[in-house]
Amino acid sequence: MKEDLQAIEREALAAIEQAENSQDLQDMKVKYLGKKGSLTTVLRGMGKLSKEERPVIGELANNVRETITEALDVKTEKLEREALNKQLEAESLDVTLPGNPVHVGGRHLLTSIMEEIEDLFIGMGYEVKEGPEVETDHYNFEKLNLPKNHPARDMQDTFFISNELLLRTQTSPVQARTMEAYQGERPIKMICPGKVYRRDTDDATHSHQFRQIEGLVVDKNITLSDLKGTLDVFAKKMFGKDREIRLRPSFFPFTEPSVEMDVSCKVCHGEGCSVCKNTGWIEILGGGMVHPRVLEMSGYDSSVYSGFAFGMGQERIAMLKYGVNDIRHFYTNDIRFLSQYHQA
């Protein structure tokens, strides 16, 4: 039996050394160490041995089993290492080759314009306020000195949801809500950007949905010169230090007096050209002194407080600053157009 065990060990070690893959090793493990393997078969004859022989043969059998098991583990590790090396050689990467370009997007032009305007006014001490896009008739019109059946409502073609609910036609309701919340107890210095909706026919300069940024300042001793100075800083920041502004009389129900602001044409520098229709000026926004009735409706004493307000179309600012000739370009998601302004 001793010779049989030694023969099994020699045969197993030689076979393991010749194994080419893990399946060969698994087959050998079953052949020599399995329940029906060579080693088990030999050990079944230990019952015929004398008491003196059994410990000797048992120890030898255990040594043979440990030797074969260790040889299997060593060979397995060797085959796995060789397989990994082959895989690494096959999948080698030349780090000197140029990489694949990664296409990175950028901010939408309207987002860049909005952030630029917000940064400017925040630097001047303004707060940024927001409000609901689905608004009530009360805040969209009545709190802005536009009672029901007022003819000035016809200036804004409105999307009504019900008799009292509508899609806001301007961001002015945010101003009305803010004044009402403060109840005349503190000054206000704010801008309110957001989307607004009007029943316009879409064309190169009109859209049923667009973005607006409005501003409001309410405090003691606010005058029209404060409004002009603020708008002059805005124009020079957005369009260049050499730009000039002018204010023309106009009408808005919620301001009195009301003005339209023009900025000098950047193409002809005020001389007159086709861009400015030979006037030297381009209309850009509207504003004025807050109507005393608007102040009173929100709890401000108009004999103590005064204020100015202004409003501009975000798309119009972008069109004038970057020479965009069709407002629809902002909404059609044409990457060829949008990618031109990722660094704007």
Question: Residues marked as binding?
Answer: 256
53-90 and 22-33 helices, crossing angle to 10°: 170
- For 220, phi and psi rounded to 5 degrees? -80, 140
**Structure-token pair, residue 128:** 């940024």
Q: How far is it, in rounded angstroms, from Cα 72 to Cα 29?
A: 8
Q: Could you write out the three-class secondary structure of the chain?
A: CHHHHHHHHHHHHHHHHHCCCHHHHHHHHHHHHCCCCHHHHHHHHHHHCCCCHHHHHHHHHHHHHHHHHHHHHHHHHHHHHHHHHHHHHHCCCCCCCCCCCCCCCCCCHHHHHHHHHHHHHHHCCCEECCCCCEEEHHHHCHHHCCCCCCHHHHHCCCCECCCCEEECCCCHHHHHHHHHHHCCCCCEEEEEEEEEECCCCCCCCCCCEEEEEEEEEEEECCCHHHHHHHHHHHHHHHHCCCCCEEEEEEEECCEEEEEEEEEECCCCCCCCCCCCCCCCEEEEEEEEEECHHHHHHCCCCCCCEEEEEEEEEHHHHHHHHHCCCCHHHHCCCCHHHHHHHCCC
CB contact at 8 A, 270 and 264: yes
Joined together, the tokens standing for residue 182 give 């403060």
Which residues does the annotation place in the binding site for Mg(2+)? 256
Angle at 271 between CA 270 and CA 277, to 5 degrees: 85
Measured distance CA(312)–CA(215) in Å, rounded: 9
